[in-house]
Structure formats: C-alpha cells, structure tokens
Chain A
Amino acid sequence: MSVMATTGRRWYAKPAGVIVSMVVPVAAVLLWWFASLDSTSPFFPSLQAILSAFQETWLFTRVGSDVVPSLGRMLAGYGIAVVVGVGLGILFGRFPLLHRAFNPALQFCRALPATALVPVSIVLMGIGTAPKVALIAFVTVFPVMLNTIDGVRAVDEVLEDVSRSFRLTRLQRVFHVQLPAAAPQIVSGMRIALSVSFVLMVVTELVAATDGIGYVTLQAQQSFQVPQMWAGMLLLGILGVLFNGAFVLLERRLLRWYSHD
C-alpha cells in the first residue's frame, strides 16, 4: 500500500535551471543595447530610444485607450470561441450523424484564411468592436471545436460502461465524464486558439480601426516614428509571453490528473 508523493516541479525548485534559461535573453538584450547604442539608422534605432518610446507610449498613456480595448476584444472573441467551441464540440462528438451533416460546411469555413475575412467582417459589421470580436471568435472556434470533438469521441469505453451502468443522466455524463475526459484535447485546442486570437487581435487593428495596439503600431510606422513601432513589437512580445505563462498555469490546474506522471 503505497501512496505516492505528488511533487510538482516548480520553477523556483530549480534555481540553477532558471539561471541557465536567463543567460541567452540577458545576453541578447545586452548585445542589443550596446550594439545599437550609437545607431544612426532610422530603421534600427538604439534600444535606449526604443525603451524610452516604450515608456512614453505604453507606461501608461495608452493602456486605457489602446491596450485595454485590444485585450478586451481578444479575450471576448476568445471567450466566445471557447464556450461555443466546447459546446458544439460535445454536440458533434456525441451525435456523429449531426457532425456528418455539418462537417462539409464546417470544413469550408475553417479553410477560409482568417486574414481574408477581415474585409468581409468590415462589410458585414462595420469598423467598431463587433466585427473584430466576431472575427476572432469565428476563426478560433474551430481549433477548440475540432479538438473537443476528438476528445469527446475518445472517451474510454470502460468509462462509458461505468456511467451507463450507474445510470448517470446525459448531463451528468457530459459534466462528470465526457468534458473532463476530453479536457487534455480541449486545452490543446484552446492553446492554439489563444495564439491565433492574439494574431487576429493585431490583424483586425491594422484595417479600419481607431484604437488598439496594432493600430498604434501601424500609426507609428506610417508617421515614421520607428522607435514607437519597435516599442509596439516589444509590448506584443511581452504580452504574448504573459499569455502563454498564464495559460500554462491554467493548464496545470485543469490537467493535474493528466500530467501527474
């Protein structure tokens, strides 16, 4: 009778590893800093100039006016995609006939290049928040839905027997068995959807937008404020890393049972 200890690996448990993984970024930044120090190129300003542009623009003048709307649209679209994608995924996963009926249409929609849909969304819904959120939701719903379908279909037949033999209701089977069993696939679909929604957040702000990180960055480029443009890249990179980190934390929480070994 052994009860195994559950030791999760934490980032602070391995200080040596942390130090190793810091070497390259720190070296890159230092190299960038010193190599660009005397830069006279208008396209490659010094890191110093970029950082001061960053501070000027993003700390925190444009947070309320641009960062918040950007992230709000992205998270709204992403949230809709997750809810709708998981819901439809369960439905299609449990009713193969329904899936068969809708699959050609779904495949067609999924194949449409996201960027090509930007003008369509503008024609249909104008230039406000709605078309951007709708486009992000429309495109990112597919990875979530398709992964949910796969996950729900792959529920172990023994567990199906268990839930039938203990007479769980349809709804109980969804929430206690099918959803958690499909969680690993759902989460990996959500991960793809998150990075796609981040891309789309910027793309939707490059056309017919009046605010947002992408809009500000494009404006900077068009008005030859190159340091501001680079500062936009810096911000997007940082946000991307933060999103990824937050997602990893969520994933660990959701899938503790799955990744225990």
Chain B
Amino acid sequence: MLSVEHLKKSYPHSGGSLEVLRDISFTVEAGEFVTIVGPSGAGKTTLLRCLAGLLPRSGGSVTLTTSGRVVDSPPPEIACVFQDYSRSLMPWSKVGRNVEIPLKNKIRERGKRHEQVERALREVDLDGFADSYPWQLSGGMQQRVAIARALAYRPEFLIMDEPFASVDAQTRADLEDLILRVRHDAGLTIVLVTHDIDEAVYLGDRVVVMSGRPTTVVDTVTVDLPRPRSQIATKALPRFAELRTEVLKLITRDGAEVTA
C-alpha cells in the first residue's frame, strides 16, 4: 500500500516561493487502480514525481506501507511511465535494449534478462520488434515500449503520468485497454494521472480529484463500474455518465478550467 499524507511542494520562485501542492493525502491499496484527475496546471506531474521519489517534498510524507519505506529516492518497488514517449525512450538503443537496461541491476544473468524482456514485449504485443529502433515505430507502439520497460521491471507500483496524452484517440483507447489487461494479468497497483475525466473514470477503481494550484484533494470518487471494462459497453452505462458528471462537478466547483 502506498500512503500519501499531507504532501506539500513549493518551488523557490523569484525571491519568494511558488506553492504547487498545498496538502495532498490519499492512499492506494494493493492491487488498486487509482486515477488522479485535475485541471491543467494543477501540479499533477509534480505530484507524481514526488510519489516516485524523483522530487524532494517540502512537507508531508509518502510511504510504502508494506516495506515501511519512506519514499525519498526512487524505490525499487516503483516503475514509471512518462507522458512523452519520444523523450522517455533512448533513441540510440533498440527497443529490446531500452527494456533491458533497467533490468541490469535486478537480473544479473543475461539469458534470464532477455527472457524477461521478450515476455514484457509480448505482453504489450510488440514481439518481433526488439531489434527496431524506437523512432522506427508509431507513437502508440513507442508508448507500449515504455510500458513494456516498466512491466519488465516487475514493480509493485506502476506510476503513469498522462501516458496516453500524446497519441490519437483510437490508439489511446487501445492503450487504455492494454493497461487494464496487463494490470489484470500482472496484478499491479497503478497510479495514473490524467486530465481526461472519461479516462479517469473508465480506468480507475477510485478517482482522486484535485483542485487547481495550490493543489489540494477536492474529493475521492469510488468507481463502482463492473470489470472487465469495455470502451463501448462500460461507457454506455448510465452509471458511467453519472460518475463522469460527479467528477466534472467536483472539478468545476473548484472554479478551475476544465480540459476534459
């Protein structure tokens, strides 16, 4: 379980300080899929970087409760998928290598490492592309490489920062379903940040709604939609529309701009 308590983050800013995260608290249970939705500029990326141990906090705590570890630096239990696949993959390395490099410290034996790379590529339907370069692939495929890299790392927690924001609508729907599938297969705990309310509701077990900057948690909405979810059937449910409206109201009540 991941527990976030009174997380604060300010940046030094022209003499004073810029308060980005004012007070963020929520928990993520083992096996849960939590989506975090908020208006543009709500410090979503800042929040995820704090969760992943990439950015020092100004206050509060982030704890992995199973190990009791306080996240001050990137922990081995967490893998990240970043928004911009074109920047998060290494263009000078082939796809297989991109997936393999993070495993070097985890799996010393080369053969086993390659097996794990192949398995991860299979999980995202990219078998046969290990020897391609990322830039030879389409955007959706590149983001699948980034997902495979995170999966191969065998983390407990997968943290995703708007992972589908840079692809077209159809690819986005495909990638959403891919994540639901691998999450089911691997039993992952996922935290996904998005500005897209539909996506937050469609994917999540719970939606954490954030305010505009300085950011607080407005409310948490439990998504009681049946699984497995489907782009067509789930989104056609009256309950989906209700939840969507509920989240939308929470965001607009806060008076911030909505980009959904």
Please say whether chains A and B are actual partners in one complex. Answer: yes
CB distance from B131 to the nearest CB of A (A): 11
**Extra 12 A-B pairs, beta carbons < 8 Å, given A3-B132, A159-B88, A258-B91:** A3-B136, A159-B87, A161-B49, A162-B82, A166-B101, A166-B153, A167-B74, A167-B102, A168-B101, A168-B102, A172-B104, A180-B92
- Complex Cα distance A181/B87, Å? 11
Q: Is A176 an interface residue (CB 8 A)?
A: yes
| Contact of A172 with B101 at beta-carbon distance under 8 Å, contacts A165-B52, A165-B78 already known | yes
Q: Which of A136-194 contact B (CB under 8 A)?
A: 156, 158-159, 161-162, 164-169, 172, 176-177, 180-181, 183
Which residues from chain A contact B90 at a C-beta distance below 8 Å? 159, 176-177, 180-181
Min CB distance B98 to A, Å, is 10
14 A-B pairs (CB sep. < 8 Å): A6-B136, A156-B87, A158-B88, A159-B88, A161-B54, A164-B54, A164-B73, A165-B53, A166-B153, A167-B76, A169-B105, A176-B101, A180-B93, A260-B133
Residues of A within 8 A of B52 (CB): 161, 165
For B91, what are the chain A residues with a Cβ–Cβ distance below 8 Å?
257-258
Complex Cα distance A193/B68, Å?
Answer: 54
What residue in chain A is nearest B53 (Cβ atoms)? A165
Check if B93 sits within 8 Å of A1, measured CB to CB: no
Q: Interface residues of B toward A: which range?
A: 20 to 34
- List residues of chain A with CB within 8 A of the CB of B53: 165
| Contact A161-B82, Cβ < 8 Å, known A176-B93, A180-B92, A257-B91 | yes
Interface membership of B84, Cβ < 8 A: yes
- Decide if A2 is an interface residue (CB 8 Å cutoff): yes
User: Chain A residues in contact with chain B, CB under 8 A?
Assistant: 1-4, 6, 156, 158-159, 161-162, 164-169, 172, 176-177, 180-181, 183, 257-258, 260-261
Name A169's closest neighbour in chain B (CB-CB): B105
A4: chain B residues within 8 A (beta carbon): 136
Q: B135 near A: Cβ within 8 Å? A: yes
- Please, which residues of chain B bring their CB within 8 A of the CB of A165? 52-54, 74, 78-80
Say whether B141 faces chain A, with CB atoms less than 8 Å apart: yes
A53 to chain B, nearest CB (A): 47
